[in-house]
C-alpha cells in the first residue's frame, strides 16, 4: 500500500456554483435557505429535532465523507507557521466566541444571513456582509501574527 497525497481542492467558482445550487434546492424543497449559527442555538436549547440543527449534523457528515474520499482527513491543528498549538486553540475559541455573539445580534451568520438572505437581496443580510467583511479587513493587520 502506497501513501497517496491529498487531492487538490476544487475550483472555487465550480464549488461556489454547486453551493449556490444547494442553496437554491433548499429554497425550493424546504422553503428556507441554509443555516449554521441557528443550529448551535437549537443545540443550546436542547431542540434536537430543529431543522437547522439536523441540517448542521448533515454538514458534519458531508464534510467528514468528502475529506475521507479526498484523503484530507487528518488529526491536526491548522495554524500559522509561527503559532503554537495552544495559542491557535485559544484564538479559534476566542474568535468563535465573538462570532457567536455577533450571530445572535445579527440573527444569523455567513450561512443564514450572508448566503441565504444575500441571494434574496435582503437589506439586513447585505448590511451583515458589509459589517463582517469590513470589520475582518479592519482587524486583519492588528491580528496578522495569528497567521504567520
- Coil/strand/helix, residue 118: helix
Closer residue to another protein (CB): 2 or 76: 76
Binding of another protein at residue 44 (CB under 8 A)? yes
Residues 77 and 88: beta-carbon distance below 8 Å:
yes
Angle at the Cα of 72 from the Cα atoms of 94 and 59, rounded to 5 degrees: 60
Binding of another protein at residue 54 (CB under 8 A)? yes
Binding of another protein at residue 84 (CB under 8 A)? no
Size of the chain in residues:
148
83: cell is: 503559532
Residue from 24, 47, 82, 84 binding another protein (CB under 8 A)? 24
Closer residue to another protein (CB): 4 or 58: 58
Q: How far is the CB of 3 from another protein (least distance, A)?
A: 17
Amino acid at each position: 500500500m502506497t501513501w497517496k497525497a491529498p487531492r487538490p481542492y476544487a475550483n472555487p467558482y465550480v464549488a461556489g456554483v454547486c453551493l449556490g445550487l444547494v442553496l437554491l434546492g433548499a429554497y425550493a424543497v424546504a422553503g428556507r435557505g441554509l443555516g449554521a449559527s441557528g443550529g448551535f442555538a437549537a443545540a443550546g436549547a436542547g431542540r434536537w429535532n430543529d431543522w437547522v440543527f439536523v441540517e448542521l449534523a448533515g454538514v458534519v457528515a458531508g464534510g467528514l465523507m468528502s475529506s475521507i474520499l479526498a484523503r484530507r482527513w487528518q488529526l491536526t491543528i491548522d495554524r500559522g507557521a509561527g503559532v503554537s498549538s495552544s495559542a491557535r486553540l485559544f484564538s479559534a475559541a476566542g474568535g468563535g466566541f465573538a462570532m457567536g455573539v455577533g450571530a445572535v445580534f445579527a440573527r444569523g451568520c455567513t450561512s443564514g444571513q450572508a448566503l441565504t438572505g444575500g441571494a434574496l437581496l435582503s437589506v439586513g443580510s447585505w448590511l451583515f456582509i458589509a459589517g463582517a467583511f469590513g470589520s475582518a479587513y479592519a482587524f486583519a493587520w492588528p491580528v496578522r501574527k495569528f497567521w504567520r
